[in-house]
Amino acid sequence: MSEAYSTLHEISRRFDREDFELLAKHPDFHFTINTYELFTQHIFTRVKRQNPDMFVTQEASCIVIQSEACSEALHLYPNWKRIEERADFEACDEINRAIALLESKACKHIYLLFPRSANFRKHVPIRSPKLDALGLEYTLKLVPYVIY
């Protein structure tokens, strides 16, 4: 469990809403919440719970799902970036990093996870002419993830 998640969990056990409102009004009190880490921890916990028969591990920047039956793992890359209009344009940097990983043959299946928004509600499969020219078999998708 990440340090930020355990700290936030402990704070939520000890303080209620009124305590937070009082502290938030104090001029010397400042706090930040690492939304990326909380989003990643939420996804990891949920994926682990939904796939009890799989090996789910959390690495530095991704979540890896692997089964005993299949040697190929699925790599989930959470990202806290909000997609408002077109997913393929707004996630261009993330897609390019994923293509570089696929090209290096570090993995074969990558899902880039973003928070779901009004205009980003469905999986968006991405095809790369560069990877297709190399004849690589791969999966690259942009996935909206529900937070609740």
DSSP one-letter string for the chain: --HHHHHHHHHHHH--HHHHHHHHH-TT------HHHHHHHHHHHHHHHH-TTSEEEE-SS-EEEE-SS-SPPEEEEE--PPP-S-HHHHTHHHHHHHHHHHHTTS-SEEEEEEE-BTTB-S-EE---HHHHHHT---EEEEEEE---
Dist CA 126 CA 128 (whole Å): 7
Q: Do 112 and 39 fall within a single domain? A: yes
Q: Do 45 and 84 fall within a single domain? A: yes
Is the model's pLDDT at 142 over the cut of 80? yes
Q: Which domain holds residue 94?
A: 35-145
pLDDT at 95: 92
Contact criterion met (CB below 8 Å) for 83 and 112: no
pLDDT at 144: 92
pTM to 2 decimals?
A: 0.76
pLDDT at 72: 86
Q: Do 105 and 51 fall within a single domain? A: yes
Q: How many angstroms separate the first and last alpha carbons of the chain?
A: 19
Contact criterion met (CB below 8 Å) for 41 and 9: no
pLDDT at 4: 53
pLDDT at 35: 79
Q: Do 43 and 29 fall within a single domain? A: no
pLDDT at 67: 86
pLDDT at 118: 86
Contact criterion met (CB below 8 Å) for 65 and 55: yes
Looking at residue 135, what DSSP letter applies?
Answer: T
Q: Do 119 and 68 fall within a single domain? A: yes
User: What CATH code is carried by the domain that includes residue 111?
Assistant: 3.40.1350
pLDDT at 99: 93
Q: Do 49 and 74 fall within a single domain? A: yes
Report the number of distinct structural domains present in the chain: 2
What are the pLDDT digits (tens) for 73-130? 999 999 988 888 888 888 889 999 999 999 998 889 999 999 988 888 999 999 999 9
What are the pLDDT digits (tens) for 9-58? 666 666 677 776 776 777 776 666 777 888 888 899 999 999 999 999 99
Q: Do 93 and 68 fall within a single domain? A: yes
pLDDT at 26: 72
Q: Do 44 and 21 fall within a single domain? A: no
Q: Do 59 and 92 fall within a single domain? A: yes
pLDDT at 126: 92
